[in-house]
Amino acid sequence: MHAIEVNEVTKTYGDVTALDSLSLAVEKGSTFGLLGTNGAGKSTLFKLLVGHIDPDAGSLAVSGTDVATAGAAIRREVGYLPEHAGFPPALTGREVLAFTARMHDLTAPNERITNVLSVVGLEDAADRRVGGYSNGMTRRLGLATALLSQPKILLLDEPTAGLDPRGVSMFHRTVRHLADSEDLTVVLSSHVLSEAESLCDSVAILHEGCLQAEGSVAALKRQSDTVVDVHIRLRTPDDVDDVRETISAHDGDVSSVTGSSLAVKCPPSMAIDLVSTLDNTVELDGYEIREPGLERVFERALTKPARMYE
Ligand SMILES: Nc1ncnc2c1ncn2[C@@H]1O[C@H](COP(=O)(O)OP(=O)(O)OP(=O)(O)O)[C@@H](O)[C@H]1O
């Protein structure tokens, strides 16, 4: 059973189609990244998954239960950090959490509140008013409220937007720690591809409400027909001319030569064979194969008609 299943969901706001027959599934226990340009439909998908809005067509299921018919128990299984989570400034962090605990009707709320404050690193600020919190602290309080009901699925809408680098790395540490804990499925949206690359097992790329690409980060990189950069260092510059033929036989292009070093672009499937063939024919001082970043996959997904990678 998948943690999340989205089946041909369409959502419109007046003339705007925010999601257009979107289907995707999220593996239980995985960390899943929703990537997309502004207005791609990421927040709309989160709001549909927590039942804040209803689809015009299609269906969504969390933990195997249709969101449209899900009762309170299933809704408690989903923790949600909205993109713009704000709290009454006069309340303390602890009071915000106590209020949320009452809404969820939690048993032993104080114990749970102490626990989530420690997970997000807000113990020392718990009794300060939220109005004096920094942006990063407010995001962490938002995460604490999302975690309060011990959800099985955690939805984080642009969790690190607007945070400084220290705040981002603290947030990443917390998300990694949470993702490592058993059974938790994390779905996060982001514009920052390196963030998705470092945190997520798989990603979906949305554009104007359509799924452009989906799969593991490694598979997306591999299956994109982009090139890899191979940097080859030869022992002697005299060998430069000798290796050109081998490089072109591997569909490679030499983009620059500096002394005895060559920068080559070639198809990902050829890179290893190219380097091992060179290693058998000339003296290599070293080599480096640079995988394409998700950036290239993303750019490519946005310029191609919608397609899925399996
Ligand atoms: N309440 C609403 N009323 C009208 N249009 C809306 C509403 N909510 C979203 N939209 C529109 O639906 C589309 C998808 O918006 P959504 O917020 O889901 O995208 P997003 O991927 O989360 O964008 P961003 O990265 O900018 O937060 C956009 O064109 C947006 O303007």
Chosen domain end from 196, 222, 248 = 222
The protein residue whose alpha carbon is closest to atom 5 in ligand 1 is 13
CA of 38 to the centre of ligand 1 (A): 8
| 199 within a domain of the structure (yes/no) | yes
| 212 within a domain of the structure (yes/no) | yes
CA of 43 to the centre of ligand 1 (A): 7
Are 162 and 140 in contact by the 8 Å Cβ rule? The answer is no
Count of structural domains within the chain = 2
Lowest mean pLDDT among 22-26, 100-104, 235-239, 290-294: 290-294
Asked whether the predicted pLDDT for residue 188 surpasses 80, the reply is yes
CATH of the domain at 138: 3.40.50.300
**Count of positions (residues) in the chain:** 310
Q: Are residues 137 and 280 in the same domain?
A: no
| 164 within a domain of the structure (yes/no) | yes
Secondary structure class of 126 (helix, strand, coil): coil
Q: Are residues 173 and 242 in the same domain?
A: no
Asked whether the predicted pLDDT for residue 246 surpasses 90, the reply is yes
How far is Cα 138 from Cα 127, in angstroms, rounded to an integer? 13
pLDDT in tens, 189-210: 988 777 888 899 999 999 889 9
Chosen domain end from 205, 222, 239 = 222
Q: Are residues 165 and 43 in the same domain?
A: yes
Lowest mean pLDDT among 44-48, 77-81, 227-231: 227-231
Q: Are residues 167 and 32 in the same domain?
A: yes
CA of 12 to the centre of ligand 1 (A): 10
| 310 within a domain of the structure (yes/no) | no
Question: What's the confidence (pLDDT) of residue 194?
Answer: 79
Q: Are residues 37 and 62 in the same domain?
A: yes
Single-letter code of the amino acid located at 87: F
Laid out side by side, the sheet with 16-26 consists of 16-26, 4-13, 57-62, 65-66
Which residue range is the domain that position 266 belongs to?
227-291
Q: Are residues 91 and 31 in the same domain?
A: yes
Find the Cα–Cα–Cα–Cα dihedral 20, 37, 140, 100, rounded to 10°: -20
Residue 307's pLDDT band (boundaries 50, 70, 90)? very low
Q: Which residues line ligand 1 (CB under 6 A)?
A: 13, 16, 18, 36, 38-44, 83
Asked whether the predicted pLDDT for residue 305 surpasses 60, the reply is no
Q: Are residues 209 and 236 in the same domain?
A: no
CA of 49 to the centre of ligand 1 (A): 15
Q: What is the mean pLDDT of residues 284-301?
A: 78
Q: Model pTM?
A: 0.80
The protein residue whose alpha carbon is closest to atom 30 in ligand 1 is 39
Q: What is the mean pLDDT of residues 173-196?
A: 87
Q: Are residues 12 and 47 in the same domain?
A: yes
Q: Are residues 164 and 281 in the same domain?
A: no
| 300 within a domain of the structure (yes/no) | no
Asked whether the predicted pLDDT for residue 181 surpasses 90, the reply is no
For 310, other C-beta atoms within 10 Å of its C-beta total 6
Q: What is the mean pLDDT of residues 79-105?
A: 93
Q: Are residues 92 and 120 in the same domain?
A: yes
CA of 52 to the centre of ligand 1 (A): 14
Which helix (H) or strand (E) covers residue 49, if one does? Answer: helix 42-49
- 142 versus 85: which is more confidently predicted? 142
| 151 within a domain of the structure (yes/no) | yes
Q: Are residues 145 and 18 in the same domain?
A: yes
Q: Are residues 20 and 147 in the same domain?
A: yes
The protein residue whose alpha carbon is closest to atom 4 in ligand 1 is 13
What value of ipTM does the predicted structure carry? 0.97
CATH of the domain at 277: 3.30.70.250
